[in-house]
Homo-oligomer: A and B are copies of this chain.
Amino acid sequence: MAKHLFEYRNGEDIELPLLIKSADIRIAKNGKKFIALILQDTSGHMPAKLWDASDAAIEQYKAGEVVHVRGKRELYNDNPQIKLYGMRLATQEEGNDPKYFLERAPEKSGDMEEDISSFVFDILNPNWNRIVRKLLADHHDAFFSYPAAKSNHHANGGGLAFHTLSILRLAKHVGEQYPNINVSLLYAGAILHDMGKTIELSGPVSTEYTVTGNLIGHIVLIDEEIIRACIELKIDSTQEDVVLLRHMILAHHGLLEYGSPVRPQLPEAQILHDLDELDASINMMTTAVAHVEGGQFSERLFGMDNRRFYRPEGIQHLSGSPKE
């Protein structure tokens, strides 16, 4: 079977089919147009530039197309990129269905669904349980296929469900360690907290913000879904437990500056925010560090206040759990 993109080494010649993740037309300082591409397969994504792009090329090479690429992997500002020798559209025979080229969460959709179901089972408050079940069903396909964000963290197919599941697992340990925490509320909030992204974002391929996403935002969009669920399930939304659940979602960005209309006023709401940040940070940091050699700093991470992270030189063998 063919090698994947990230299995090539620096300086090595490349020849493989890749999906165009994004394609921006820019004008070079010599007055000619070029296409700034991001190309991907399931192993990750890498930038490439198509210089002196003709109008035909611009028409042809759009986000969502699968292309057959020849080139060389090289380093630019310490980050890998593809120097293009040639490129053409892949044919149907070669396999040009975008879904086979998406980066994917590290667990299978079916496994994740099963795991999340077992967490739903532990939501003991009946109103929370019914609302969560209904919204999981309503948004099932998008929830298990969308990324958790346009870029930043978990920006891959299934990333939304995987990020949700990671938070649930952390939440379970927190519930065991601090017995006064209402675990049912924490689970219900965790499952719904980012589900509005299925409306805010355009989908798993060539992800963009929708107009509704820009003007309303995923926090209020999922709040709307909870209200609609209450009406359909004949749950009185003025009851305290529904108000608490809505508060969990509304407050989960932690600070007003980050787009939450209210700050966390329940211990569980603050904890959901903290676990959300923790999981997103770990995802961003470990991904970045994995892309550099020992003794090097990663690229600057926009989502981590533009910091670089260091990969130690001499102690990799100690990484991992103490059992290793």
Contact = CB atoms under 8 A, between A and B. Distances in A.
A321 B176 contact: yes
A211 interface: yes
A261 B263 contact: no
Given A51-B31, A264-B307, A265-B307, A320 B217 contact: no
Contacts of A98: none
B29 A309 contact: no
Contact of A266 (B180, B240, B278, B309): B309
Nearest to A32: B30
25 contacts: A31-B51, A124-B322, A169-B177, A170-B173, A180-B286, A180-B319, A181-B319, A183-B320, A183-B321, A184-B318, A184-B322, A211-B295, A212-B243, A214-B297, A215-B265, A215-B266, A216-B243, A224-B224, A256-B257, A257-B257, A265-B297, A266-B309, A270-B304, A271-B278, A274-B277
Contacts of A29: 28-30, 34
Interface string A216-255: 1101100110011001000001111101101100100000
A122 interface: yes
A310 B214 contact: yes
Given A244-B215, A274-B274, A320-B180, A261 B261 contact: yes
Number of copies: 6
A86 interface: no
Interface in A267-324: 267, 270-271, 274-275, 277-278, 281-282, 285-286, 289-290, 295, 297, 304-305, 307-310, 312-315, 318-322, 324
Contact of A30 (B51, B270, B278): B51
Interface size class of chain A, counting residues whose CB lies under 8 Å from the partner chain: 35 or more
Among all A-B residue pairs, the 4 with the closest Cβ atoms? A28-B29, A122-B322, A267-B285, A173-B173
A6 to B, nearest CB: 16
A177 B181 contact: no
A241 to B, nearest CB: 6
A275 B246 CA distance: 26
A182 interface: yes
Contacts of A271: 278, 281-282
A217 B319 contact: no
A57 interface: no
